[in-house]
Structure 1
């Protein structure tokens, strides 16, 4: 609000240069972070070449022709567009010792399949699938409290949105007499509510962190072994198994992570970390094959001005809580040795090298094993 009066004291005239009474009402807010991204993509999966295979079906000495798929596409060409916008701000209280960070994100996507000659020649072709598109707002809220020197407690709630990829929607790879990998054009986007609580400890030289989390998913996107009847295919057509990407109605994933470190600019340094996760389908009670086994890592090293090295020990527990017995894996331990050299003559350059799995241990990565009874863990 502003009010002014001005006049000539000799004549009594009011001055033209004086502004009128004025009031202003406004509301606004300045945000610490905002931004977005827009991506356009084109996805295709083609096999182009020459072979000596006769016309199908392939049997006898031509059986391996089932795997070639020459001059075919395993999915239609897919034009994709994704848009993401986010807004968040940190609000400081109690002289900055308490910080509240609200935020929100908007996501939108569209995947549009295009028919091609290679796709219509696919032996699994049944027609052009539908377009997939959706959007969602995902809010979040994070709080931090500097409890004391080198101790920060935090908690967060966040919603998330994940759009299905082109291959998750439209892939159709397989040949009769072998195996089949299918997408699902009717996939819904994956959404989740996540809760996390933890602490950050220490400083740049010595410290660590510990946290626990719980995530609840709706329409969780997962690759699952299915029966021929479930996808409308005659039994025996794909004896090596059928895998399809689908939505699980309700899934929970929870776990804990911890790490500690000690580092100096020169001299000794070390670190240790631990991670444990569990995930299951809340409708069926099945444990998910996409969840890694419990894992611990211990590392120690020494650094000089121009060179240094590390010894890293990794231990992974057996994974027994899985969807089926085929996906169980034994525990294992690995030893890695790494080194680096920063030539004085090449400012800013650093050469790194390592010997990984020094003891040549045989092990199975729980996230990279076959899930069909016809395929062994070893080749």
Structure 2
């Protein structure tokens, strides 16, 4: 991928600012926004993730988490993970500068599909070893431009196909119309500071409407550090991120429009790691890392709401996406005691995920207010390529290209239909859906043969082809105008990713080297999920309670296969299929207004999961919850909002140890090695956050926050789930303190609208 020219970009930004700022100065005054305290009555929540078309969340037969732009701003989110800071049902691993992944009800990684503005986000590539064996995450996005984030918590393969076995995350960015609000011009600038990683932010957003066009240009710059731990003992680093969002919509008429979206983000990380001799204090080794990640997504979307015999609404999106990560590392040390300290090895890592596709959704209502069919149907096609290359240059020695996995071309084709039947004068909705998918994953045999040499077996690299049907059944019944119950059965399906089926990787780390082994017999996994819930939306109170049960077959997990219990130690691990996995739990959330000024809210989630042998799944989260309050008031005629949140989690000891060392019949040795099989458990915690927002006038908005006010030391279980205490310590020199969350920190942001 070629980098954007900074000079051209700067010129475009400057020109847009000058032109639109001048236009804004002569435009009509903006309509005064309503304050939250005067607008807390029953509000419709519109989602698109349930049926891929806009609908009221009350019509959805399942649990969907909705985070709108107000919540993102009020929480002072500065990256993907912080969006879910106050949500107990979603676990996020990673943070600023780190590979990020999301887990829902114990199922995560590439099993959770992620979509942004109609474009499927790149596959995640990361070793199960977690920290230290870094890869490419999936949550690299600019949060400043997000309009709404929706999370479908159950399997959603009926509407989205494979990759949606564990749910779907749908991100929508704001359009020009969301800023213009009927005006012709809009320009705003923002700046801020996030103490969590010493990050400074600045950017602007401009929108303009002229003729039949609506255009949007947004730019954000972030400069900080990699996410630190509580003790601030992480290596020194510089983290810089630049993003550009451009949208141009053309209205053919009152019914039909076409929109071009270009979304670009580049993040660069420089890290300097030093290891000193514990006795002499002399420098033993240092590693300089330079990583550049670029993400560009583009889409051309046609939308028409002119009724025809075939549809009332149609959405057709042609898209492309490219994620590329280039990482270079320089290793400095003495290769021999007699040699001078200096450069000993250079490593280069490349990951690339390219996608091009077309998706379409059509919706047609047949009937009247008392009885009818809301039929949604469509077709999806995508061609993608995923590759990972490594080069190791030993100074004064050979240059080698260790095999990771064969570059793989993938094709996916899906056709779906869903019927939402309205009965009993609109009080009962019955939903039925079905989807057919065909997949073809073809690895590059020549590359595999060159990488594996004598270990290459051609039959192991035959294309993986599969097809499947994904059914769905659901209902929503209104007990009253404000209370409804729902239930659904949803099917999920997931093919193995190329690195899971064909991947081989050796992590060289002293006495405990680890080898990732391929599993050519790895099968696709499937899930069956049942949900039952009640949802209420009263004048001052909104609530939802959901219970769920998931049965997964051929669940893909990973296991260690030790070669022995005597030095030199070398451990193999691989992905494999668990015969059966059961997960069940409950989630609840409530919002209540005490009066026009005070809102109370809370959410809580619990998941329990075991395999066919009754062993705990290490991917599930502990009992978690959040309790918060907001007070809306006036200060000298300025609208103000005070917020407080307590984030808490129970201890997590429902874990299953690994099988690194097997008993050898020697009591003293067996007792010692038993501890070496341990995975990380975490203690319970409670963390207090305080936020403050001030709307000074129609132009100026100020927000500040203090997070982890009591300076609590704690570890988020998602960051250590299933990780070996022994291997991370001995192979990667990582200890418990390295996974702690940051201590007390401060955020501040300001926004000015011209």
Band the TM-score falls in, shorter-chain normalisation:
0.7 to 0.9
In the TM superposition, what is the alpha-carbon distance from 1:362 to its structure 2 partner?
2.6
2:655 counterpart residue number: 322
Between stretches 324-333 and 89-98, larger displacement belongs to 324-333
1:135 counterpart residue number: 467
CA distance in 1, matches of 2:691, 2:383: 39
1:33 to 376, 382, 386: 376
Between stretches 297-306 and 254-263, larger displacement belongs to 297-306
1:5 counterpart residue number: none
Contact kept? 1:225, 1:372, Cα under 8 Å: no
2:389 counterpart residue number: 46
Mapping of residues 204-215 of structure 1, within 5 Å:
205-215=540-550
CA distance in 2, matches of 1:142, 1:45: 41
Contact kept? 1:225, 1:371, Cα under 8 Å: no
2:43 counterpart residue number: none
Quick one: structure 1 residues 151 and 264, their matched pair in 2 at CA, closer, same or farther if it must change by over 3 Å? Answer: same
CA distance in 2, matches of 1:306, 1:125: 69
Quick one: structure 1 residues 374 and 95, their matched pair in 2 at CA, closer, same or farther if it must change by over 3 Å? Answer: same
Mapping of residues 70-89 of structure 1, within 5 Å:
71-89=401-419
1:196 counterpart residue number: 531
1:295 counterpart residue number: 624
TM-score by length of 1: 0.75
Bigger relative CO (Cα 8 Å, ≥ 6 apart): 2
1:66 counterpart residue number: none
Secondary structure of 2:617's match? coil
Segments of 5+ residues of structure 1 without an aligned counterpart are 1-28, 56-68
Between stretches 180-189 and 334-343, larger displacement belongs to 334-343
1:150 counterpart residue number: 482
Secondary structure of 1:374's match? helix
1:228 counterpart residue number: 563
CA distance in 2, matches of 1:70, 1:264: 67
In the TM superposition, what is the alpha-carbon distance from 1:112 to its structure 2 partner?
1.4
In the TM superposition, what is the alpha-carbon distance from 1:76 to its structure 2 partner?
1.4
Mapping of residues 175-190 of structure 1, within 5 Å:
175=507, 177-190=512-525
User: Across the two proteins, how many residue pairs are aligned to each other?
Assistant: 330
CA distance in 2, matches of 1:134, 1:267: 56
1:365 to 704, 716, 720: 716
Secondary structure of 1:218's match? strand
Quick one: structure 1 residues 361 and 202, their matched pair in 2 at CA, closer, same or farther if it must change by over 3 Å? Answer: same
CA distance in 2, matches of 1:340, 1:53: 59
TM-score by length of 2: 0.40
Quick one: structure 1 residues 242 and 236, their matched pair in 2 at CA, closer, same or farther if it must change by over 3 Å? Answer: farther
CA distance in 2, matches of 1:287, 1:354: 38
Mapping of residues 96-111 of structure 1, within 5 Å:
96-111=426-441
Quick one: structure 1 residues 49 and 355, their matched pair in 2 at CA, closer, same or farther if it must change by over 3 Å? Answer: farther
Contact kept? 2:586, 2:605, Cα under 8 Å: yes
In the TM superposition, what is the alpha-carbon distance from 1:213 to its structure 2 partner?
0.8
Secondary structure of 2:499's match? helix
2:604 equivalent to 1:286: no
Contact kept? 2:406, 2:498, Cα under 8 Å: no
CA distance in 1, matches of 2:648, 2:396: 47
Work out which of the two has the higher radius of gyration on C-alpha atoms and give 1 or 2: 1
Quick one: structure 1 residues 49 and 326, their matched pair in 2 at CA, closer, same or farther if it must change by over 3 Å? Answer: closer
In the TM superposition, what is the alpha-carbon distance from 1:365 to its structure 2 partner?
2.6
Quick one: structure 1 residues 174 and 342, their matched pair in 2 at CA, closer, same or farther if it must change by over 3 Å? Answer: farther
Quick one: structure 1 residues 116 and 356, their matched pair in 2 at CA, closer, same or farther if it must change by over 3 Å? Answer: farther
